[in-house]
Structure 1
Amino acid sequence: MRKSYPLFLKRFFPFLLIVLIPLLAFSRFAGFSMRQFYLEQTAVSLEARANLLKEQVTHYLLAADEKKDEKNIDLLCKRVGKSSDTRITVILPSGKVLGDSEKDPVDMENHSDRPEFVKAMTGETGVFTRYSDTLREPMMYLSILLTEDGKPLGVLRTSVSISAIDKQLEIIQKRTSLGVLVVALLGAFAGLLFSRRISRPLEKIREGAGYFAKGDLAYRLPVFASGETELLAKTMNDMAANLDERMQTIIRQRNEIEAVLSSMTEGVIAVNPDENIISVNQTAARMFHKEPSELLNRSIQETIRNPDFQRFVRISLLDENPHEEDIFFHIKGDILLNTRSAPLKNTGGDRIGILIILNDVTRLRHLENMRRDFAANVSHEIKTPLTAIKGFTETLKAGALNHPEEAARFVEIIENHTNRLIAIIEDLMKLSVIEQNAGDKKIALTEWHILPILLSAIQTCRPKTDEKEIRILSSCDRDLSARVNAALMEQAFVNLLDNAIKYSEPGSSVEIDAVKTDSEIVIAFRDYGIGIGKEHLSRLFERFYRVDASRSRKLGGTGLGLAIVKHIVIANAGKVTVESAPGKGSRFVIHIPHKAS
């Protein structure tokens, strides 16, 4: 990852370079200019000294044919050179050295190749700075040509060491560099302060932008006392406030929509044109026994594997019109969902998918079927005795009244069917009253001991038990009590006991156990009669449902006894269950939770 540096350092270093580079360039230029100036002044001084000696040396050269004049030239060079702190050399046109203030001319080599000599021989002043092989140090040489009537007599060369100049310039350069360094440090410090002054607000703004990017729109930038940054900070704060307000509005609206969707009893699914789920509420997810996260952003084919539903989605996506269809789903049991679709559009009116509303109508359809079955059963149950009554009445009218024995038998049959019809109507009325009172919460529940209610039910059924010599074995704690409606609960006990007696063999026994567990009061009725097949147990408490219709009618049953028991127990905040097997008898159990007690 690329390393990030503080903003003030990013601004400081360029500023430092801007200050330092010109200072260094100035220092170098000043040093170079100063050296050139000193060298030019030295050259002028050397030329002045050469001109002072020019006439005298020319005089000696004109007489140089004698040895003593050559010696005088060398002595002149040494005397004047010592007094002027200047090296003076006299060279013949051939390059031979006649005199030198520092060395013995005899020991000196020919100087015809020296650049200052060559330049002077052309008639120009030769000025050169170079390293001296004789003195072993850098020197500045100035040479002038000595002539007489246009005839070259020789070259007068003056020179000085520039080591002292370089040393002096080095001292000056050091002092200049020190000054440059001080100025650079002062400039750097000023640049640092300036950079911090500029970068600190920008860093704060960048920091604030980071908070805004992370979603912390409640953060506010400090307002700095400088024009541009102050305006920028205020603008960003205003922007954050506006964004925060809009975000809060969006979040509030989203939460309201989610709350509405979550509280809906209908399932809601939004599907885009690619058949991917883009929104789903909790109810819809629960219908498919999934979490919303398992459905979101996944395709219908992947998540809801029902061919009829997938076909419904495809048709709805292709058509602008709403669609409705009841679809069966096999998800941990069969459920029937009323499925409706409508086009889903954005604020611009463009279609972006479909909205599917799912309504679980399994129970509704079941209730409708039960209502139809109930109506059919009621009609059948009432029609049967009425048909019999009408038939035997017509028989009596046709002449059976003239035969007393047959007439008496027919009247008895008519009476039995009339009693059955009355029993059916009474049971229907009981059931209707129980359901209505339970729905209106008009059934009063009070604390009752269970034993007296049981004994009263047993006493009611005593004639039937005596007739079939059936023993009633009951077990119930005297102190066992529950919050129930005593009259209704006795009716439920009577119905269960009557059923047990009807389907028990003569001389057998019926057991009644009432106990209290950790969570509920359990009252069980156990017989050892013919028993019931497993396939009938789920519908046993439905109205007019009979395992063996002919046997039930023969025994005087209306087909409503167990339905009445179920609704009585529900009205008493409990439930009723059954365990049975053919040939092993049945066990009906009433459960009343403690919270109802």
Structure 2
Amino acid sequence: MKRFRVRLTWIMIVMIGLSVTAAGFLMGKTYKDNHIAAQEESMLREMKVINANMEWEIGSVEETAAYFKQKATTIKELTGARVTFIGKDGKVLGDSDYDAAEMDNHLDRSEVQQAQAEGAGNAIRYSDTVGQNMLYVAMVADTKQKPSNFIRLSYSLASVDSSVNKLWTVLIAGLLLLFLLAAAVSYRVALGLTRPLEQITRAARRIKAMDYEVRVDIRSKDEIGELGAAVNSMAEGLQVQMNRIQQNETQLYSVLDNMASGVVMINPEGRMVLLNRRAEEVLGFEYREMVGRHYSEAKQQYELSQLIQQGLDNQRPLHDEITFYFPEERLLELNLVPVYETDKSYGGVLLVLQDVSAIRRLERMRSEFVANVSHELRTPITAIKGFAETLLGGAVHDPVMSQQFMGIIYDESERLNRLIGDILELSKVESRRVPLQMSPVDLSAFLNRSIVVMESEAAKKSITLETSIAEGIYLEADEDRLRQIIINLLQNGINYTPEGGHVSLVASLTTREDGIEMVRIRISDTGIGIPKKDLPRIFERFYRVDKARSRVSGGTGLGLSIVKHLVELHKGTISVDSTLSIGTVFTLELPVIQY
């Protein structure tokens, strides 16, 4: 813009200089022409006066030469002009400066020929004798006579040239001053024109660089002011649009990044153009690694590549479930839909990946649960029905057999009642519909009461209950649910410990790695133990290590599952460690204060 300003300034200076120079030339020429014209008129008047006092017919040649010489000399003294008298034939009759006898015939002089034709004539030419430009004016002595004598006056133009030179000196000096003034004015005018344009240009560049907060400070009401206002309006409009686009883009990326499903967009050429965070986790590669690259470059299963290619070729929705083994084994539900742009052109495909491993696992667990419940309910019902039919068939009349059968029916109905109760309890616990009534619990007193409850059942098998409980420990818990946890674990230990064995309970205070105080309760037994292959599953519903013995002991297979859910409701953890034929240890950790 500075170069433009300089160019504009020079253009204005040159235009002004040319204009002034042309005006100077015109003025000088006009001045010179007017001066010469005025001189010619003055010389004509003088020649008319001279002609009025002249006698052209004198006599002899000598007398004539002396007369005209004397007249010419006298007139020159009066007017200062060179005077020449010319005869009809062009011969010089007398001259104020030179000897007429030695002068050439003047009939061929241009001013003489013009005077002969028009009555008066003039000419300007350089005189070698004087070394100056001379103005020659001639007129006929008698316009009625053809041919006629001539009078010619000549003046030096040195004064005219001197005046013109002075004029040129003044003009040049004025021109220089005018140039300086014109330069200042031109620069000021150019600055006034270019400075707003510079602002507009800078603003346009910043708008091009996506800086839409820029504004042009132009307050004039001319065309440049209107242009600046238009640029400001454009920048404001673009800023609003870009803010809206950025807000929509942020919302879109926020939605995509927080979706539970993986989303991958692939253009018609097969290149990945969009990949959200969940898709990265599911497919096992990062956004920057694959965006812009062909989907076949992703190290994935052949089935996925085949599905994508089929969707790109057919341009119709596809659905499938594929088991993935990288980065870990999982079952994915794939939905592939074609994408069309606003102009209805084909824009590629959108792949939505949903990890349904947990859903399918829950469906399988639900099916297994229903099957297990049906089986567990059918067993006591079948026993009750069978013995009831036997009694109805006549066994009721046998006192011994009827007493035995009635006892079996009672035991099975109790088992059925416990099973239904545990199923309802587990359902409430799993659905989080168990409101916990938190209160401070004196752990030592609480555990000692729980041991007293289980002493009679342990005594039936001659099992010794041992305790080691630290004093002064209080924790925040639901006392009824905590008792349910402890009684269940103690009962489990008693049931699977042979006669004469030991069941111990140890309670102490510990601190977790993050600094939270925890109560640790260890319930161990000297029972049959649990195989290592079964340890990960013992907290599952209806899972039994020894199904025959579990039924004999009256277990429903739901106790440990209920315990695990109640512990989690207390924000605690439970773990198990066991060795066959040696015993089992359940370790329960609960926070002292619920957080």
- Whether 1:189 aligns to 2:185 is yes
CA-CA distance at 1:417 after TM superposition: 7.8
Query: Is the 8 Å Cα contact of residues 386 and 417 (structure 1) preserved in structure 2?
Result: no
Q: Which residue of structure 1 aligns with residue 575 of structure 2?
A: 577
Partner of residue 442, structure 2: 449
Aligned residue number for residue 35 of structure 2: none
Q: Give the SS at the match of 2:492.
A: helix
Which of 419, 429, 433 is the matching residue for 2:421? 429
Which residue of 1 is the match for residue 539 of structure 2?
541
- TM-score in terms of structure 2 length: 0.67
TM-aligned CA distance change 1:441 to 1:546, over 3 Å: closer
Tell me by how many angstroms 1:326 deviates: 2.0
Determine the C-alpha separation between the residues in 1 that align with 2:444 and 2:427: 26
Mean Cα displacement is larger for which, 549-558 or 285-294?
Answer: 285-294
503-512 vs 535-544, which deviates more? 503-512
Q: Do the aligned residues in 2 keep the contact of 1:580 with 1:586 (CA within 8 Å)? A: yes
Deviating more after overlay: 487-496 vs 168-177: 168-177
Quickly say closer, same or farther: Cα 1:439–1:391, change in 2 above 3 A: closer
CA distance in 1, matches of 2:468, 2:408: 33
The reply to whether residue 368 of structure 1 matches residue 360 of structure 2 is: no
1:14 pairs with 2:11: yes
Question: What is the alpha-carbon distance in structure 2 between the residues aligned to residue 538 and residue 4 of structure 1?
Answer: 83
Gaps of 5+ in 1: 36-139, 141-159
Distance 1:360-1:31 versus aligned 2 partners, 3 A rule = same
Shift of 1:542: 0.6
Give secondary structure in 1 for the equivalent of 2:467: strand
Paired residues of 2:333 and 2:355 also in contact (CA < 8 A): yes
1:502–1:298: structure 2 CA closer, same or farther, 3 Å change rule?
farther
Structure 2 counterpart of 1:222:
218
Aligned mate of 1:317, from 312, 320, 341: 312
Q: Partner residue of 1:267?
A: 262
TM-aligned CA deviation for residue 560 of structure 1:
1.5
Deviation at 1:428, TM superposition (A): 4.0
What do residues 212-271 of structure 1 show as CA deviations (whole Å, max 9, x unaligned)? 332315735534221x22332333333334434443443444445445545544333332
Q: Distance in 1 between matches of 2:532 and 2:501?
A: 26
- What is the rounded CA distance, in whole Å, between the counterparts of 1:309 and 1:417 in structure 2? 58
Aligned-pair CA distance for 1:11: 2.4
Partner of 1:499: 492
Q: Deviation at 1:400? A: 8.4
CA distance in 2: counterparts of 1:341 and 1:32, whole angstroms? 93
Change (3 A) 1:346 1:417: farther
> Relative to structure 1, is the Cα distance of residues 438 and 372 closer, same or farther in structure 2, using a 3 angstrom cutoff?
closer
Hey, what's the Cα distance between the residues in 1 that align with 2:17 and 2:506?
109
The residue type paired with residue 18 of structure 1 is M
Per-residue CA shift, 1:330-349, capped at 9, x if unaligned? 35543323222222122222
Letter of the aligned partner of 2:521 in structure 1?
Answer: A
3-state SS of paired residue (1:510): strand
Question: Alignment partner for residue 343 of structure 2, among 324, 333, 348?
Answer: 348
Paired letter, 1:436 = K
Letter in 1 for 2:491: D
Counterpart in the other structure of 2:566: 568
Equivalence for 1:596: 594
Query: Equivalences for 1:31-42 in 2 at 5 Å?
Result: none
Query: Could you tell me which residue of structure 2 aligns to residue 378 of structure 1?
Result: 373
Please show how residues 283-302 of structure 1 align to structure 2 within 5 Å. 283-288=278-283, 296-302=291-297
Task: Give the Cα separation in 2 of the matches to 1:569 and 1:283.
Answer: 31
In structure 1, give the amino acid aligned to 2:482.
M
Matches within 5 A, 1:235-254: 235-254=230-249
1:99-138 matched pairs, under 5 angstroms: none
Pick closer, same or farther for the CA change 1:442–1:534 going to 2, 3 Å: closer
Matched residues in 2 for 1:519 and 1:424: separation? 42
Equivalent residues in 2 for 1:460-471 (5 A)?
460-466=453-459, 467-471=461-465
**1:358 maps to which residue?**
353
C-alpha deviations, 1:175-196, integer Å up to 9, x for none?
Answer: 7256335434434423532442
Pair 180,4 (structure 1): closer, same or farther in 2 beyond 3 Å: closer
Shift of 1:32: 12
Deviation of 1:27 after TM superposition, in Å, equals 8.0
Compute the displacement of 1:538 (Å). 2.6
1:276–1:299 Cα contact (<8 Å) kept: yes
1:510–1:527 Cα contact (<8 Å) kept: yes
Q: Which residue of 1 aligns with 2:143?
A: none
User: How far is the alpha carbon of 1:493 from its aligned partner?
Assistant: 0.8
Q: SS in structure 1 opposite 2:220?
A: coil
Q: Per the alignment, in what secondary structure is the counterpart of residue 590 of structure 1?
A: strand
Q: Distance in 1 between matches of 2:562 and 2:429?
A: 13
* Alpha-carbon distance in 1 for matches of 2:427, 2:242: 52
Contact 2:544 2:557 (C-alpha < 8 Å) held by counterparts: yes
Report the Cα distance in structure 1 between the residues aligned to 2:531 and 2:338, rounded to whole angstroms.
51
Gaps of 5+ in 2: 33-133, 135-155
CA shift in 2, pair 1:202/1:380, >3 Å: same
Rounded to whole Å, the distance in 1 between the matches of 2:26 and 2:533 is 113
Letter in 2 for 1:561: G
Do structure 1's residue 326 and structure 2's residue 321 form an aligned pair? yes
Match of 1:316, SS state, is helix
Asked if 2 retains the 8 angstrom alpha-carbon contact of 1:456 and 1:490, the reply is no
Q: With the length of structure 1 as denominator, give the TM-score of the two structures.
A: 0.67
Give, in angstroms, the shift of residue 490 of structure 1.
Answer: 1.0
Distance, in Å, in 2 between the alignment partners of 1:511 and 1:271 is 61
User: Which residue of 518, 522, 539 corresponds with 2:519?
Assistant: 522
Paired letter, 1:422? E
Call closer, same or farther: CA 1:253–1:595 in 2, change over 3 Å: farther
The one-character-per-residue Cα deviations of 1:308-354 (angstroms, maximum 9, x if unpaired) are 33322222222343222222233554332322222212222222122
Measured against aligned partners, the alpha-carbon deviations of 1:63-86 in whole angstroms (never above 9, x if no partner) come to xxxxxxxxxxxxxxxxxxxxxxxx
Give the SS at the match of 1:596.
coil
Q: CA deviation at 1:23?
A: 5.7
Aligned residues: 566
**Contact 2:320–2:335, Cα closer than 8 Å, also in 1:** yes
- Report the residue type matching 1:207 in the other structure: R
Alpha-carbon distance, 1:369 to partner? 0.6
Distance 1:510 1:274, change over 3 A: farther
Distance of aligned partners of 1:419 and 1:177 in 2 relative to their CA distance in 1, 3 Å threshold = farther
Q: Percent identity?
A: 26
Shift of 1:565: 0.7
Matched AA of 1:183: F
Residue type of the alignment partner of 2:472: R
Cα drift, residue 563 of structure 1 = 0.9
- 1:341, 1:522 → 2: CA distance? 52
